[in-house]
Each structure stands twice: as C-alpha cells, then as structure tokens.
Amino acid sequence: MKLEEAIKQKRFETPQIKAMLNIMYTANWLMSEFRDIYKPFGITPQQYNVLRILRGKHPDSVNPSEIKEVMLDKNPDITRLCDRLLAMGLIGRSIDADNRRKMNIVITEQGLLLLSQIQPLLTERQEAILNRAEIDFALLSDLLDDLRG
C-alpha cells in the first residue's frame, strides 16, 4: 500500500518529508506485525529484545547498562523490564561479586525455551514480509545507515 493511501494524504511538502514519514509509518507497521507474535507469549517487543540480547551473550551475564546500549528501543526502563522478566522466570539476576553496585543478568533455560518457541513464528512472518517486495535489501540497509549517519 502506498503511503498516500495509508495516511490519506495526496501531497507532501518535499520528497524528503515524504520519505521520513514513510520510514516512520513503515517502522510502526513492522512493530505492529511482530507485536502480535509476542502477545500470546505474554511478552512485549522490548522484553523480547532483552531476551534476544541475553541469548546472544549466553552463557555469560550482562549488566543492565550493556543491555540498554544495544537495544533497538533506547527509551525503556531496563530495571522494570528486567523485573518483569525475572518475575516470569525468563532471566536470572545477581549482584556482581567484584562490584556490589553492579547487577548481572542472564537468560534462564525457561527464557531460552520461550525464544525457541517464538523463533519459528518470527521467521515465518519475516519471510512473508520480505518476500513481498523485490528490492535490494542491502542497498536499503545502506541507505538507512546513511540517513542515521
């Protein structure tokens, strides 16, 4: 669907503004597509992102500031996200032996199991979305990198 149809706007001030709106609209659309996958598992996209980061570091632990540094969404309250994941048994948390002000976070077996259940659904949705368009995704990624550059 063209942006013009989606937001019911025929003209844009400049092509740059149209492109910016299109990026924001598409990002929100993508988030919505994937939010529906996480919902039945009782987690949010931000919680999934934390689990994904922890899985990448497994079996090592990570401190909350390291998690926040690499999150896709830089705004969430990491402490609250981790509290909820801990209450669900998806992560473990301990005080660092060398620095008592530092917290160590690790994904649990239950967290790894949850991710293994979600992954096939994510892969299926990703393939369905990405196979719709015949575009050069490497070029698209480079252009987005340049935009943020």
For residue 41, give its domain range: 3-148
Instruction: Report the percent of the chain where pLDDT is more than 70.
Output: 100
Tell me the whole-structure pTM to 2 decimals. 0.84
CA 74-79-82 angle, to 5 degrees, is 95
| Number of structural domains the chain divides into | 1
Q: What is the CATH number of the domain that holds 63?
A: 1.10.10.10
Q: What is the pLDDT of residues 110-128, one digit of tens each?
A: 999 999 999 999 999 999 8
Q: What is the pLDDT of residues 86-104, one digit of tens each?
A: 999 999 999 878 887 888 9
